[in-house]
Amino acid sequence: MPTKVKITRKEIKATSLFKKIMAEHFLEADSASKDPNQKVAWCTSVGPAELLTAFGFKLYFPENHAAILGSVRTANDYIPIANAAGYSPDICSYLTSDIGAYIKRETPLNKIYNIESMPKPDVLVYNTNQCRDVQEWFSYYAREFNAPLVGVNAPKAIDVLEEHHINDVDDQLRAMIEPLEKISGNRYEPETLSEVVRLSLEASTLWREVLDTAANIPSPLTFFDGSIHMGPIVVMRGLQTAVDYYKILKDEMEERVKNGIAAVDNEKFRLYWDGMPIWGKLRALSEQFARLNACVVASTYCNSWIFDSFDPDNPFYGMAKAYTEIFINRSERVKEEYIAEMVKKFKIDGVIFHDSKTCPSNSNARYGMPARIRDIFGIPTLIISGDLNDLRCYSEEQTKTNIEAFIEQLEEG
Amino acid sequence: MEKIYFGGVDVGASTTKAALIDNSEYIIGSSVKKTTTNLEDLAKKVFDEALNSSKILREEVRYIIATGYGRENVNFANEMKTEIICHSKGSYHYFKDLNSSMAVVDIGGQDNKVIKLDKNGKILNFKMNRKCAAGTGAFLEEIAYKLDVPLENLNDLATKATKDLELGSYCTVFTSTEILENIKAGETKENVIKGAFISVVKRIVEMESLEGVVVMTGGVIAHNPEIGKILEKQLNVKVHIPPNPQIIGALGASLIAKEKFNNQMNQG
């Protein structure tokens, strides 16, 4: 009988610390929301977190909350509620699952951290660099909580990043100073912002170094590990906690490399993942790839929180540049060149494009890129149809067969 | 010399197929049955039927590969392979002498595949249809039901069509509505069925560009050869259909079984 290979998961030792600091992050935001002397800001995942931290806000990231809804597979309990409230099933399923959970007054934070509800926002701050949906998402909550909404409306699909793009965002970030001073009750202190940006840059650099360890053969970590351990770089940018955490994680990965410890036993194929994770299937996919001796070593997604352009000496300019030059906000040409560079850097055998039904901004299979990558760079590509949170858009069997067939194709040489 | 045989079992969404080959890759037996809910029993029944048709003993079959969506349920198989590689092996087996790159189009009960091969039979890339039933056997089953026509009569009726009817939408449910509108407007069943066949072909050609030798496999083409003719007309190339196109996946599986067995023998 054809037997399934049993997978032994290699626990990352830093995971216990990861869980502890993530718990502290949520508990701090929760207690800040109950303390009249503290303020809570809701921020998009690639929003100006440094600026908010510099004003003393405790941060909360709805995207992070939505990813938890996906991971614990309750997103599909809530998406239909938002659909019925007028939010289309075709728009971002982070948005629909998060708003649906809010309408039902439920949150997984309750079960995980014993937190009653999402921390009430004093301000909501977005950046449309990643997509337009975040603006609508935050607008909903601004109405619900009667809280001020500020944001950056970023120049989009940039091919060559020019000074005027950066200056535009720089101006928009500076324009936030006045409302944020009023809301926080704190004055803008340039030294504080410089220090926060310095910490953010340090954490981001360490995160890049963690991800770069995957260039080793065999790789000490997978995209699936990265999708979990990216938590602090998303929600704790600008804090010493993130810096300390990534130093520990980096040491562990380097130790694995030194001792030849592979994330996937008998690594035969090295893959690149473009697009969103399928949060509800993270474990199943991770195990399927491991069973096939295939390691998804790198991804556009995990790399998206590397911000090399942060500059403590020019914090506004650096933030404007870093948050505008991100992959998701670039032209097809830039994206294609970036993936080609990653293929080389991580010695990739094949590229998987996740075409996420409700996330067009993070789906790069729609304008012919997989065929171009295949034809120009001679590397096999596979498109998987799915979604970040809405598992109604995901076919388990079809995805499984596609992945297996892709590995069979690679095995043929 | 001792006679040895190899088997392939393809547990598809609509039908389950088995094929047996001898060492010279000649098909000595095959069987096709409708897929039911007990996949393990069914796989065994279909395989036993193929054994009966070939008049060989189970013990003489040295290696078996399972494929298809129910491949994990074939508990007597030695290994599993996907239907993608099995269809490519089965198609290449018949048309390798044409010494050309190949586009294999498999229309199954619930999914479609386009597999592109180089002239040595190596997979260059493949695509499966997206999640819906558009352009699959399930789509034609729905159309037959809506028109109250037995499934097996579709092909004959399509050949009697007097025009190429355009059905615009690709959603099976929307197409059913369009069909009702056409019937209401006095359109013949024959023309509507041909329209549905044209719709199947459209779903295929929009999946991937079809270059080189075009091969069609699967149950839909086995029972509805008119679809192959429509594709020929659309692409202006000859469409190659292997003998017994419905068992090409099972045949490919048995060819891989032979390869695997021989490799193991060579390794001692």
Ordered by where they begin, the domains of chain B are 5-130+206-267 (3.30.420.40)
Token pair of A284 as six digits: 């199943």
What is the mean predicted confidence (pLDDT) over B135-144?
A: 90
> B247 to chain A nearest CA, in Å?
19
Q: Which region among A5-19, A372-386, B70-84, B233-247 has the lowest average model confidence (pLDDT)?
A: A5-19
Check if the beta carbon of residue B164 is closer than 8 Å to that of residue B198: yes
For residues A124 and A34, what is the distance between their CA atoms, to the nearest angstrom? 17
Residues with Cβ within 8 Å of A149's Cβ and at least 6 positions away in sequence, in order, are A123, A124, A125, A126, A138, A139, A142
Name every chain A residue with its beta carbon within 8 A of the beta carbon of B127: 383
SS3 sequence of B62-118: EEEEEECCCHHHCCCCCEECCHHHHHHHHHHHHHHHHCCCEEEEEECCCCEEEEEEC
- Burial (CB < 10 A; 0-12, 13-18, 19+), residue B33, is middle
Per-residue pLDDT of chain A (413 residues; tens, 9 = 90+): 555 667 777 899 999 999 999 999 999 999 999 999 999 999 999 999 999 999 999 999 999 999 999 999 999 999 999 999 999 999 999 999 999 999 999 999 999 999 999 999 999 999 999 999 999 999 999 999 999 999 999 999 999 999 999 999 999 999 999 999 999 999 999 999 999 999 999 999 999 999 999 999 999 999 999 999 999 999 999 999 999 999 999 999 999 999 999 999 999 999 999 999 999 999 999 999 999 999 999 999 999 999 999 999 999 999 999 999 999 999 999 999 999 999 999 999 999 999 999 999 999 999 999 999 999 889 999 999 999 999 999 999 999 999 999 999 999 98
Residue with tokens 């039908």: B15
What is the mean predicted confidence (pLDDT) over B30-34?
A: 97
Q: Assess B132–A contact: CB distance below 8 Å, yes or no.
A: no
Q: Assess B158–A contact: CB distance below 8 Å, yes or no.
A: no
How far from B53 is each of A189, B30, B31, B49, B185, CA to CA, in Å? 86, 7, 8, 6, 49
> B126 to chain A nearest CA, in Å?
8
What's residue B170's pLDDT? 74
> A411 to chain B nearest CA, in Å?
10
Nearest CA in chain B to A381: B125
For residues B170 and B252, what is the distance between their CA atoms, to the nearest angstrom? 31
What's residue B174's pLDDT? 85
* Of residues B163, B154, B166, B165, the one with CA closest to residue B224: B154
Q: Grade residue B135 by pLDDT with cuts at 50, 70 and 90.
A: confident
pLDDT at position B1 over 70: no
Check if the beta carbon of residue A227 is closer than 8 Å to that of residue A282: yes
Identify the contact set of chain A against chain B, taking CB-CB distances under 8 A.
1-2, 4, 374, 380-381, 383, 385, 393, 395, 397-398, 401-402, 404-405, 408-409, 412-413
Cα distance from N-terminal residue to C-terminal residue, chain A: 27
Check if the beta carbon of residue A246 is closer than 8 Å to that of residue A337: no
What's residue A3's pLDDT? 59
* Other beta carbons within 10 Å of A137: 26
